Structures are given as structure tokens and as C-alpha cells.
Amino acid sequence: MHPRSGPALGRNPTLIAVWVRYPRASIKPLWGEVIAMDRFERRGRDKIFDNIYRAVLLCKLAGLSFAETKNILREVFKNPPLLTVKDWYYGRRKHRLSKLNTLDKALWYHTAYEVVIKLKTKHLQWSYKKISSELKKYLPIKIPLTTIYYWLSERSKPNVTNVKVCPALGYLVGVLVGDYKRKRNERRARNKNLHFIKYYVQMYEKVTSIKLKIFRDKYGRYYTSERGTFLKILWRTGLWKIIAHIYPREFLQGLFDSEGSITHTMYKGILKGYTLNVTIGSHEVLETCIAILNNLNFKFRIDFTPPSIKKVRRKYYKFGGYYRVYILGGKQTLYRFEAEIGFRESNRRIKLLALLEAFKHPPKDRHKIYYKLLNSLPLHNSKIVVGPPGLEPGTPAV
């Protein structure tokens, strides 16, 4: 069809803009580019709608109300279609995903398989097409016909890890976004602290019902045996922000365990205060962390270190820029931090407990008590009582 003929030109604002902008002689060679550009824009729009729909489903699986879901979507997507989102949330409409990824399969395939087997057991005469149409009433996503056929003929079963949306998933996401290598290359948690890895394995088992094995490399670092593809999908699609806002405290726990730091500050030989911060290398992670800290009413300060080249062991390395978020406040802020976030990693947890105990004594005796507790507290100590009345201590180290 000629570009000037037919109703398509009047319905497509992109094509109208090209027709007005370019002269008549240049329309023909540009026509293929215009169609390709229009398809590209439509594909990008579909991906955005896919992720918004997935975000709604994640909020529903977490048990959030529509008001809470709406607030989270506004925080992450800025301007979501609220009427469409409301229909999706209450099941009045369903969005057909352009392509199922590993996260979709991990969340829904095991449930779909159970429903398919129950329907076949109850209705032996039904074909796989009939079961597929009936399955739509139970699930918010569409399972391919071929997959249902192979399930019914016992040729295959769901071969993806079953993922539960629970608070432990927020901790895994916090560890994920705090580790630069893990977000891009690796699919496993790696750390020199064994207690941190053990706690990570416990959280992973709560999410997937799989207990990971722990190994040690030649550098003395411990690492897990996971693949963690669903975590990679959460990072690539940006849905990790949804999990972070659903479980804000657990997200900060994972982030501080991965990249957090706590030290004491001295002034004229007296232990005066502390420095509590977390290092972040991504601006996206920084924005999410700031939003969550504001929602939890924590005061903070942000410092930025620009990229630099440093010499390490006779070799020069290029280091990217990073942000440091400092938690501000006095003893009460430290009590709140320990009660709501805290550390599960043993070394930092011992420092935190020693500081909280030292602040109960006069200033001139604090540093002696701090160093004494620092050297005497066992790694599994959870009996020490910290914080003012009414605040419970955080999760003990594993």
C-alpha cells in the first residue's frame, strides 16, 4: 500500500510526523525505517506493560492491598495506568505477557502443573485444549499449549525452581543489589564470612525449599552452589525494586549485610559516637535505598566518591564511582537500627552489640568496655540485652 493511501496513516501519529517533516522524494527510502521504528516503540511499550503486570502479581502474592500496591507502583513506575492496574488486581482483566521468562515460570509453573493434574484426574475425557482453556480461570498468566500437552502425556514436569514471595526474598534481593559481580556475572553468593553465607543459605531455603551447599575457594572465600536465575531476572527487569518496597526492612538487612559498615569514633580518648554507613555503586539502588530510609524515618547523609585509578600490589586498577549513605543520629537511632535492621554478619554484629552495651556506661569507661566486649563476645551471642525498654533486639547471628 502507498504510504499516502488507506486509513493507517490517519491512525498512526508517528507516520504523520514523518510525512510532515520529510519531503515527498524522501518518503520511499524512509518508509521501512518508519515501520521498524514503530514496531520498536510498540515492543518497548509491551515490555513496560509486562513488567507492570508482573509487579501487580508480585504484590498480590505478597498479600498487599490494592492501596499498598498502587503506592508501590507509583513509587517505581511513576505514572502507571491505575484503572488498568485496578482491573488486573481484582482479576477483571488479564494481560497476556509477550514472553514468559524464568521468573514467571518459577512463580506459576508448579501451581499450574498441580491444577492440570487435578483437572485431568477429575475429567478424564477432557483434551489438553479443554484443560488449557479451563486453566485460565485459575491462573493470571497463559501457559503454552505445548507445555500442557507434555505435562499430560508425562513427557516432562516443571524443571524450574519454585519461588515463594516471602520476606526472605527481600533479603536475597538486598544481597543481590549490593554485590557488583553478582548482578552482572556470577550467580552465587561469595563472602569471606561463613556466618553471612550460612544465613544466606537459610533465606534461600525459605524462598525455594532448596538447601544450598557451601564451598571454599583457594582465596579463603566461601560461596554457594546456586544458579539463582530468578534473581538475575529480577535485576534485569527492574522488579527487584518492587520486592524492595514490599519488604523494605528485609531488603535493607541484605544490603547492609553485603555492603554495610560500622565503626566507633573517638574524641580525646573518649568513645563519643559511631559511624554507620552502606556503600552503593548504582544510582538506581541509591534511589531505592533513599526512598525506603525516608519511609522508615531514618535521617541520613550521602557522600559521592568519583571514579579513580589506584595502585594495588604493583598494578593499577580503575575504580568506578560509588555512594556512601551515612545513618545519622545518636544512641536512640542505633537502638532503632539494631531492632529494625541490624546485622546478621558476625563481625559487624559483634561491633554493634559492643557499642550498644558501651553506651550504657559513663563516657570515660566506654572504650574499655567496648574493647573488652569486642574480644569476649562469641559469634553466636544473642543473650545480651540491648536497646531501651520496648525495643527487641534484631535477628541474632547465625
Where residue 182 falls among pLDDT bands split at 50, 70, 90? low
Average pLDDT, stretch 230-254?
94
For residue 162, give the nearest of 95, 112, 92, 218 by alpha carbon.
Answer: 112
Mean predicted confidence (pLDDT) in 37-64: 83
Q: Which fold has domain 167-251?
A: Endonuclease I-creI (3.10.28)
**Angstrom distance (rounded) from CA 8 to CA 350:** 69
- DSSP SS3 for 344: coil
Q: Positive or negative, the Cα torsion across 58, 66, 64, 109?
A: negative
Show the cell assigned to 31: 518508509
CA distances from 31 to 6, 129, 272, 306 (A): 15, 41, 71, 45
DSSP annotation string for 41-75: HHHHHHHHHHHHHHHHHHHHHTT--HHHHHHHHHH
Give the closest residue to 373 by CA, choosing from 392, 358, 394: 358
- pLDDT tens per residue across span 310-369: 888 888 888 888 899 999 988 899 999 999 998 987 788 889 988 988 888 888 888 888
Single out the residue of 338, 352, 345 nearest to residue 199, CA to CA.
345
Angle, helix 229-237 to helix 167-178, in steps of 10 degrees: 70
Looking at residue 362, its pLDDT comes to 87
User: Using CA atoms, how far apart are residues 20 and 61, in angstroms rounded to an integer?
Assistant: 48
pLDDT of 66-114, one tens digit each? 999 999 999 999 889 999 999 999 999 999 998 999 999 999 999 999 9
What CA–CA distance (Å, rounded) separates 315 from 105? 45
The CA distances from residue 238 to 51, 56, 232, 280, in Å, are 8, 14, 10, 17
Which one has a higher pLDDT value, 35 or 183?
183
Residue 392 pLDDT level (bands cut at 50, 70, 90): very low
pLDDT band at 46 (very low <50, low <70, confident <90, very high): confident
The pLDDT, as a whole number, for residue 56 is 97
Domain residues of the chain, as ranges? 8-89, 102-152, 167-251
Per-residue CA distances from 332 to 113, 298, 335, 348 (Å): 51, 11, 5, 18
pLDDT at 29 over 60: no
- The pLDDT value recorded for residue 395 is 36
On the question of pLDDT at 3 being above 50, the answer is no
* pLDDT level of residue 287 (50, 70, 90 thresholds): very high
Instruction: Provide the whole-model pTM.
Output: 0.82
| CA dihedral angle for residue 160, residue 163, residue 168, residue 172, rounded to 10 degrees | 40
Asked if the model's pLDDT at residue 396 lies above 60, the reply is: no
The yes-or-no verdict on residue 394 having pLDDT over 50 is no
- Tell me the mean pLDDT in the region 260-284: 88
Residue 167 burial by CB count (10 A; 0-12/13-18/19+): exposed, middle or buried? middle
